[in-house]
Amino acid sequence: MDREFRTLNNLDKTNLTSENWPWNGVAPQKPKKWKGLIPVKINGIARAEDAINRIEEKLGRQLFDRETISDLSDEKIVRGIIVSHGTAVAPKMDKHTCGNVGDAPNSYAYPRNFLKSTGEIDTVLYVNLGSPFCDDSQCGDSPSDIAVHEFGHALGLGPHFQGFGEGPIISDDFWDVLTALYNAG
């Protein structure tokens, strides 16, 4: 399978097809992503900073607003991504519980109505890194690989695909899909 076909197939599986979690039938065949700069609060977590730097470098443009919500208490934030450490959870907690995205620390649920019918993600999402069972900085080829992976979910990649949680945590296939999603009109 050639790279372009694989990218389009993976984009459809993880984002455009809406039947699956987390889209649950909303905005079928529409790209699901944030509009404009995405406010982010990294809470001084170096690997989260490295992750957003890597994402912006690969996409070739600024994607994140690192200032607007950085000093706000979480309760005052109405839109953006907040990074939390030691709060990853899963239905079955084990050595693979290294990161997740949810509506709060220690949650893997997405907020109600986080996705508009246009496909715009408009909510507060938490990127939860690490748990009592897993030091996320020890996973993958780089200490920020799990953070990049979880930011991928927060940016609009839903179900895993080969090269994004199936096999490698992230791979060139992951970067191709994220680039296609955010560099498309």
Residue 95's CATH number = 3.40.390
| Domain coverage including residue 120 | 3-183
pLDDT band, residue 104 (cuts 50/70/90): very high
Separation between Cα atoms, residue 98 and residue 75, nearest integer Å = 25
What's the pLDDT tens digit per position in 64-80? 999 999 999 999 999 99
- Amino acid identity of residue 84, one-letter, is S
**DSSP code of 181?**
H
Beta-bridge mates of residue 100:
128
pTM above 0.95, yes or no: yes
- How many distinct structural domains can be found in the chain? 1
- Number of residues written out for the chain: 185
Contact (CB, 8 A) for 173 and 167 = no
